[in-house]
């Protein structure tokens, strides 16, 4: 177990809980440069190595993560993981102070592979990140409008929903164009994105999403990256009587995972990885499991392309 600090962050303040040598101490700081400096002085007072954890909610965490990441290891955790961890500990109290302690406890006990270090990102990367968030929001709104259109029974209501869908389509196209513009104008983003697009089934938008996450975290292995995405399979076996079907974990980054579904469909339909799929079919694996395996494979290939800084090599990956 490591000495750990958990942060529960709001717009104006953040609660900090430090678990050091089995003892927990807590403090409240302003979410501002003065607060960050006071927070660092508080951490320095412990006189030991610390791992700082916080949830990936909104964008209130970004400034403190950037500042304190210069001095300590920082990990930004999927809120779902913290929520499930709280349930496992029968954690019922909901206050900022208690939430900070819960995050600290998770950070204190989690396996190292579940705590990828956050990397400070450039201004251009921040803009890409926010454009991708906007794209995801617009797609969600479009899905909601399409669902409302399906059940609408009034012509006027249907007309309004159709107009809103058309407007959302225009905005989505504008955001896609802006994503490409910022990617192409930033040398670091462009270099990574261009190499990722050499992978079969990975288009411009998926490459931009992968670029965002690969540059945001210090993933030591491909398995750590797939675990972050929630694309590591779960086995359900117990004794001789329980032998459930393997499935993808519910944990992981939803946006990254969903971004790989259509590329996996393309890879399957166009037979980009024939030997890989042939082996799965020989084991009578269902289509959805094969798609999940292809999503994971694409993520592993993307990780290696990023790490080696070389384009996709079909001779290396197709037979695997």
Read off the pLDDT of residues 248-302 as tens digits, 9 standing for 90 and up. Answer: 566 678 889 999 999 999 999 999 999 999 999 999 999 999 999 999 999 999 9
CA distance 208 to 125: 10
Residue 236 has pLDDT above 60, yes or no: no
> pLDDT of 19-45, one tens digit each?
999 899 999 999 999 999 999 999 999
- Distance from CA of residue 51 to its chain's centroid? 19
- The per-residue pLDDT for 318 is 59
- The per-residue pLDDT for 86 is 86
Helix (H) or strand (E) segment spanning residue 195: helix 187-196
CA distance 181 to 186: 9
Instruction: Kindly report the pTM of this predicted structure.
Output: 0.82
Q: For the chain, what is the radius of gyration of the CA atoms?
A: 22
- Nearest to 55, CA basis, from 231, 213, 253: 253
Average the pLDDT over 155-179 and give the result: 97
DSSP string, 245-290: EEEE-S-S-HHHHHHTHHHHHHHHHTTSSHHHHHHHHHTT--HHHH
The fraction of the chain above a pLDDT of 70, given in percent, is 92
- The per-residue pLDDT for 242 is 46
CA distance 272 to 270: 6
CB 253 within 8 A of CB 78: yes
If one compares 234 and 112, the residue with the highest pLDDT of the two is 112
- The per-residue pLDDT for 233 is 66
CA distance 134 to 130: 6
CA distance 85 to 105: 9
Q: Which residues pair with 114 in a beta bridge?
A: none
User: 10 Å Cβ neighbour count for 230?
Assistant: 21
Q: Which residues pair with 48 in a beta bridge?
A: none
Residue 320 has pLDDT above 70, yes or no: no
Residue 209 has pLDDT above 60, yes or no: yes
């Amino acid at each position: 177990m490591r000495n750990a600090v958990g942060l529960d962050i709001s717009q104006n303040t953040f609660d900090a809980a430090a678990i050091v040598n089995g003892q927990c101490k807590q403090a409240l700081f302003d979410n501002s440069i003065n607060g960050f400096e006071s927070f660092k002085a508080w951490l320095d007072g412990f006189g030991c190595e610390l791992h700082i954890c916080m949830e990936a909610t909104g964008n209130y965490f970004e400034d403190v993560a950037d500042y304190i990441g210069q001095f300590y290891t920082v990990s930004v955790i999927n809120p779902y993981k913290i929520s499930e961890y709280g349930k496992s500990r029968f954690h019922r109290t909901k206050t900022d102070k208690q939430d900070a302690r819960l995050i600290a406890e998770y950070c204190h006990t989690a396996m190292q592979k579940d705590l990828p270090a956050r990397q400070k990102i450039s201004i251009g990367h921040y803009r890409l990140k926010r454009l991708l968030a906007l794209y995801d929001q617009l797609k969600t709104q479009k899905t909601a409008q399409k669902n409302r259109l399906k059940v609408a029974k009034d012509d006027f209501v249907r007309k309004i929903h159709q107009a809103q869908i058309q407007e959302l389509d225009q905005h989505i196209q504008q955001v896609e164009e802006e994503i490409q513009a910022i990617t192409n104008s930033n040398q670091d983003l462009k270099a990574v994105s261009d190499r990722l697009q050499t992978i079969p089934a990975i288009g411009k938008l998926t490459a931009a999403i992968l670029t965002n996450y690969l540059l945001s975290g210090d993933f030591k292995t491909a398995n750590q990256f797939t675990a972050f995405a929630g694309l590591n399979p779960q086995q359900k076996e117990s004794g001789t009587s329980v032998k459930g079907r393997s499935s993808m974990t519910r944990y992981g980054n939803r946006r990254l995972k969903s971004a790989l579904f259509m590329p996996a469909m393309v890879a399957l339909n166009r037979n980009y990885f024939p030997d890989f799929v042939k082996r799965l079919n020989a084991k009578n694996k269902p289509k959805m499991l094969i798609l999940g395996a292809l999503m994971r494979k694409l993520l592993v290939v993307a990780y290696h392309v990023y790490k080696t800084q070389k384009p996709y090599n079909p001779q290396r990956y197709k037979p695997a």
